[in-house]
Amino acid sequence: MARPDKAAAVAELTDKFRSSNAAVLTEYRGLTVAQLKTLRRSLGENAQYAVVKNTLTKIAANEAGITLDDQLFAGPTAVAFVTGDPVESAKGLRDFAKDNPNLVIKGGVLDGKAMSADEIKKLADLESREVLLSKLAGAFKGKQSQAAQLFQALPSKLVRTVDALRAKQDEQGGAE
């Protein structure tokens, strides 16, 4: 790899692997240029879809500390480098692949860990980060209101108990 253009390409791919939250490897054989353009738009603003050379990508992944299966580099390969929400990009790839069977999701990487194609499809089935956070916030709010009701119930129960004891003592004191 003595050629400077190849060294520069590997360095650029290594930087992309390091700066991305996720990377999804796909096979794009049979897709037209117009379809690839549509795919790039469907991935959203936080993803870059790039056609890459297999050997240079494999070298770049190794330099970035990512171990990928050699089978992922069979055939023409393109990589979606995701810097934002990986779920959004995985959904974009899955939905595009439904309409265009020529796009094959091979596998990928999420936070430095290798993922199979099935795991990426499961990732696409998740709800977005914002929806999950809002559900979590709703659950916390529900638990907080339950705790508040519990804390309010304790003093009022104590007051009712003390009143009942006082009334009982008054009855016993008046009966004597």
Structure confidence by residue, pLDDT tens digits, 14-34: 888 888 888 899 888 888 888
Rounded CA Rg of the chain: 29
Place of tokens 């009855």: 171
Q: Is there a contact between 41 and 35 (Cβ–Cβ < 8 Å)?
A: no
* Largest CA-CA distance found in the chain, in angstroms, rounded: 109
Least confident of 18-22, 46-50, 89-93, 122-126: 122-126
Tell me how far apart the alpha carbons of residues 100 and 28 are, in angstroms, rounded to a whole number.
10
Please give the class, per CATH, of domain 3-126: alpha beta
Least confident of 45-59, 73-87, 106-120, 161-175: 161-175
CA 167 to chain centre: 61
Strand partners, 67: none
pLDDT score, position 72? 84
91 class by beta-carbon count within 10 Å (0-12 exposed, 13-18 middle, 19+ buried): buried
Give the pLDDT band (50/70/90) at residue 176.
low
pLDDT score, position 1? 47
Tell me how far apart the alpha carbons of residues 171 and 165 are, in angstroms, rounded to a whole number.
10
pLDDT score, position 38? 87
Give the pLDDT band (50/70/90) at residue 171.
confident
Residue 94: CB atoms within 10 Å: 17
Q: Which two tokens stand for residue 154?
A: 């304790």
For residues 96-106, average pLDDT: 88
Average pLDDT, the chain: 82
Q: Which residues lie below 8 Å from residue 116, measured CB to CB, with a gap of 6+?
A: 107
Q: Is there a contact between 44 and 22 (Cβ–Cβ < 8 Å)?
A: no
CA angle, 10 then 12 then 14, to 5°? 65
Question: CA torsion sign, 111 to 113 to 117 to 121?
Answer: negative
Higher confidence at residue 150 or residue 105? 105
